[in-house]
Structure 1
Amino acid sequence: MHTMDTGGARVPGPEPGDRPAARLGFRELCRVAPFDVFRDQLNEVFYPARVAPTGQAEQGLRPSRLSASRLEHLTLGLVRFGVDASVDPGALGSYHVNIPFSGRVVTQCGPQQMLAVPGRAAVFTPREHTVLPGWSADAAQLCIKISRRTLEQELEALLGHPVGSWIRFAIDLDLTQGPGKSWLAAVRLLLSELEDPDSLVHRSDRHREYLERMVVGGLVLAQHHDYEDELRDPRVPARPRTIKRVVDAIEAAPEKPWPLSDMARLAEVSGRRLQQGFREHLGMTPSVYVRAVRLDRAHGDLVAGASSVAEVANRWGFVNLGRFASAYRERFGEAPSETLRRIR
């Protein structure tokens, strides 16, 4: 396994004739494969996407390559098409980072766009349309799919309160200096541990999860996003007693009906002032906060092996199973039935 210079930051990367990526804990899926086989394998590892060649492979080009490793919170993939290509997965549903080793990849996410080259990674958000219309034949990238719930948990732990929706990241991450360079070092550490068959990461699930969460949490701290002002300002004021009173009551009994009038009465302020206070101090409305707490409690019950999804939904105040399933998928990235089936 070799390293490649990404504009001042060196990361593991594929080189011609290098040894199988299994040394990194990766499983090689394709090498010099027909394009449709490569596309199908790529979609199986990451996302259903429209993937098409936009040019012809030339003699002497390095071959196509796809190797992947699925961990608890991350999916890692080494990807090289070997031909000019376009990739259109749409809204990913997960957070994602592409770290280029070589070549150039025209990259868009919602209204943001950039040219991903060595030294500049692309960061994607779950619900904005992602498209890579210009992946050059010589471009190789380390693609990192990140569990949506894991990333949001890391941010919530840092903020001290739930986040109401998905986090919008800036797309362009400079890996050559400052926070981006530090985050890249965390990625390299995880890769180095996976590479060594005698490392603790292969013997301890807790150690591996610790390193995964270090990568996830580091991205939250390194890259610009919606919550960075609150996250980085140590002078953020404490919650007013009115807000704390309502939050404590919701946390104690989230399954109860919580109309705005009852919450305002408890806080001894108007409903409008209460909503303003929640937005200022928690970044969401009171009703969104109630739903977030209920969903977290429901998730905890399902992970603990509850008897049924309907029972859990009813226990935590969700009267419409369809809406519960939709909100649950939005927050945790899978249906409640999938969580229960996976745990069992």
Structure 2
Amino acid sequence: MVREDTPLSRFAAVDTRAPDDAREAIGRIFCPHFLNPVGPSAGSFHARHHTVQQIDYSVNFVAYGSTVEIDPGELSRFFLLQLPIRGSAKVRCGTVATDVEACVRGSILSPTLGTRMTWNEGCEKLIVLLRREAVETQFEVLTHERMRTIEFDTGVDLTGPAGSAIWQHAQLMLGAAEAAGGMPDAYRMLLRDGLTTLLLSSLASSVASAFQRPAPSAGPVAVRRAQDFMAANAEWAISMAEIAAASGVSLRSLQDAYRKSRGVTLGEGLLSLRLERFRAALVARDGMPSVSAAAFVAGFGHLGRAAAAYRERYGETPFETLRRRM
């Protein structure tokens, strides 16, 4: 029986007690792999896989019930961020093995490294699959360097600042996935780019040195181009990569120059533009008929967070602003 708190329970793709069926079905979602229940708990094998496909990534819940050995070899097409929410496992990616445990340590699998895992009885994981091309593109956007093979160290410490940020960001991605089609592309793209940036800039990897060097400086022209691009496109699904491309410099350089020039981050600058449009749509005599309509027209993907940011900026809720117009 599925618990009420099981993530993505409305999006079950696999629910079987037959290892062969699980191997085939989960292999179609991720990649072909060996899957074998082992040990005394083998009789309690129960494979569950819930999944929601997003833009260049998917959010997944996976559990096997019993202890299982899994050997997918090289993933090839994607990275897998695995965050245990119950239980423990041993994960080997390349030559590095790590013990993972709920709330303590996760793992990230790189597509060019062979992987083998043992999930212990009762282990359940939240897994974010990131398309390899999306991660590599974000690396080029952030650094303006030619793409290199990206291989992460296996373990992800969830108790430190970086791991805590990754965990919290994964929860936002889970929330957006639970909402299914209720989130616009702009928000889902921001979630994708936010996670890839966190992983690339904070975890040990083959490209970590590119983020340890100071970003090349960008001048006021780049900042002005970025601001103009955001002003012209704030209501659309634009990514940080597109803003950097419009500015003509790397995303890291732009982020640094924007913060120094305007005293806020690039993301905060985009948020400010959207809040201004949000308010304008609420106060205009012929404006939007509802708060949700005004929020989405302004480019917001999540009404709750939009309303919280609006109240912090203007000292009243969007509903109070709209009520005055009505």
Deviations 1:284-323 (A, max 9, x none): xxxxxxxxxxxxxxxxxxxxxxxxxxxxxxxxxxxxxxxx
Q: What is the distance in 1 between the residues matched to 2:91 and 2:31?
A: 16
Q: 1:206 Cα shift?
A: 2.2
**8 A contact 1:110–1:130 mirrored in 2:** yes
What letter matches 2:185 in structure 1?
D
Residue number in structure 1 paired with 2:92: 108
| TM-score of the pair, normalised by structure 1 | 0.57
Q: Tell me which of 68, 71, 85 is aligned to 2:54.
A: 71
The alpha-carbon distance between structure 1 residues 167 and 22, as it changes in their structure 2 partners (threshold 3 A), is: closer
Residue number in structure 2 paired with 1:17: 3
Residue correspondence of structure 1 range 1-344 to structure 2 within 5 A: 17-18=3-4, 21-22=7-8, 27-57=11-41, 63-93=46-76, 94-118=78-102, 119-132=104-117, 134-163=118-147, 165-196=148-179, 202-234=182-214
Q: 1:78 Cα shift?
A: 0.9
Residue number in structure 1 paired with 2:272: none
Gaps of at least 5 residues in structure 2 are: 219-326
Q: Which moved further from structure 2: 202-211 or 102-111? A: 202-211
Specify the SS of the correspondent of 2:61: strand
Q: What is the distance in 2 between the residues matched to 1:82 and 1:167?
A: 32
The alpha-carbon distance between structure 1 residues 35 and 186, as it changes in their structure 2 partners (threshold 3 A), is: same
Q: What is the distance in 2 between the residues matched to 1:227 and 1:210?
A: 22
Deviations 1:131-162 (A, max 9, x none): 11x21121111122211111011111111122
Deviations 1:26-71 (A, max 9, x none): 6202335322222211111101101111134478x69432111121
Q: What is the distance in 2 between the residues matched to 1:84 and 1:179?
A: 30
Deviations 1:78-107 (A, max 9, x none): 111111111111011122211111222111
**8 A contact 1:97–1:145 mirrored in 2:** yes
**8 A contact 1:103–1:139 mirrored in 2:** yes
Gaps of at least 5 residues in structure 1 are: 1-14, 239-344
Q: Which runs of at least 4 in structure 1 moved beyond 3 Å after TM superposition?
A: 19-23, 56-59, 61-64, 235-238
The alpha-carbon distance between structure 1 residues 235 and 156, as it changes in their structure 2 partners (threshold 3 A), is: closer
Q: What is the distance in 2 between the residues matched to 1:99 and 1:235?
A: 31
Q: 1:120 Cα shift?
A: 0.7
**8 A contact 2:150–2:205 mirrored in 1:** yes
Q: What is the distance in 2 between the residues matched to 1:57 and 1:66?
A: 19
**8 A contact 1:100–1:140 mirrored in 2:** yes
The alpha-carbon distance between structure 1 residues 182 and 19, as it changes in their structure 2 partners (threshold 3 A), is: closer
Q: What is the distance in 1 between the residues matched to 2:73 and 2:208?
A: 26
Q: What is the distance in 2 between the residues matched to 1:120 and 1:203?
A: 30
Q: Which moved further from structure 2: 229-238 or 43-52? A: 229-238
What letter matches 1:110 in structure 2?
G
| TM-score of the pair, normalised by structure 2 | 0.60
Q: What is the distance in 1 between the residues matched to 2:47 and 2:71?
A: 19
Paired residues in the alignment total 216
Residue number in structure 2 paired with 1:281: none
**8 A contact 2:75–2:112 mirrored in 1:** yes
**8 A contact 1:67–1:78 mirrored in 2:** yes
**8 A contact 1:74–1:146 mirrored in 2:** yes
